[in-house]
Structure 1
Amino acid sequence: MTGQEGSPEFFAPPLPSPRVHVFIPSAFGTETSSLLERTMRVGVLARALAVFRVEKVVIFHEDPKRPDPNARFLKTVIDYMNTAPYLRKELFPIRPELRYVGVLPPLNIPTHPESRTIPVGGMELREGLVMRR
Structure 2
Amino acid sequence: MTMTVGLVAVTLTGCDSLPFGGGDSTGTSDSMIVEVEVTSDSASATGVRVEVDARNDPERVETTDMPLPYAETFEVSLDTPFPLTGTSVEAIADAGASWISCQITMDGEIVAEERAEGAGATVFCAKKLRIGPQ
Q: Same fold (TM over 0.5)?
A: no
Instruction: Considering fraction of residues, name the structure with more strand.
Output: 2
Instruction: Considering fraction of residues, name the structure with more helix.
Output: 1
Structure number with greater CO (CA < 8 Å, separation at least 6) is: 1
Higher radius of gyration, 1 or 2: 2
